[in-house]
Amino acid sequence: MAGKCTVFFKFLVPGFNKRLSLPVAFCSSLSEKKLDKAVIKSCLGSWCVRLGRSVDGVLSFEEGWEVFVNHHGLNPGEMVVFEHKGKMVFNAVAYESLGNEKEYELQSDKHQHDYKGKRTLKGTASSSLRTLFSTTMSKSHGHPHHAYMTIPAKFARSNGIVAASRIILKDPSGRSWPLIASKWERMGRRSHRIATRKGWYKFYEANKLKNGDVCVFNLKPVSSKSGSKSTRVLEVQITRRGS
């Protein structure tokens, strides 16, 4: 069976709330043929979902998937990032259409849910996907002289990314792009944000990014340690606008 990997889908039309087909490449990588269920874990709990299979072998989330969609308030244009942990167990994080992580009122009492959405055993929700974030490209990302890419504050805090942290982006072709994080103070506010400017536009231009494209950044294990300047390696998956 396929090991740990990251797959993601973008909600474009309401029909996706009934069933969701998994990527063909992911399905082809599974060695086990008799698969009938999956478990999806999020910050709100875990959900059992029945699996369907088409005549050409493509798997899909079916019974139980609509319950997951409704419970998380997912809308057309929003996206869910799935991390496959093995044995058809997925961690999931939902993002708004502009790429910000959806926020939920977390419950201290998290449960497992069956196909109908009924609570079963008390379970543990996943928090490991603090290693992922998504950004939708806009004009600020592609300006030839002032391009920058903001790193979500929650992601930066969780992973020790501060001003002067070294970051290496690995694009879908396997090329490496070194960046330096910097801290921007917000005028009139006692807050700041972490962003990358130096090196970002080279990545943007080389990968032919355009407004509306979605980049998912997946943090890999730290490759070197030197205090607050530890190198962070982020693998990037790109979904083109309209695809």
pLDDT in tens, 101-153: 777 765 544 556 655 555 554 444 444 446 777 788 888 899 888 888 888 87
Question: What pLDDT score does 108 carry?
Answer: 45
Round to whole Å and give the CA distance between 78 and 189: 30
Question: What pLDDT score does 185 carry?
Answer: 58
Question: What pLDDT score does 133 carry?
Answer: 79
Mean pLDDT score across all residues of the chain: 77
Interior/surface letters 143-178, b for 16+ CB within 10 angstroms, e for the rest: eeeebbbbbbeebbeebebbeebbbbbbbeeeeebe
Residues of the chain with pLDDT under 70: 1-17, 33, 98, 105-130, 184-192, 221-230, 242-243
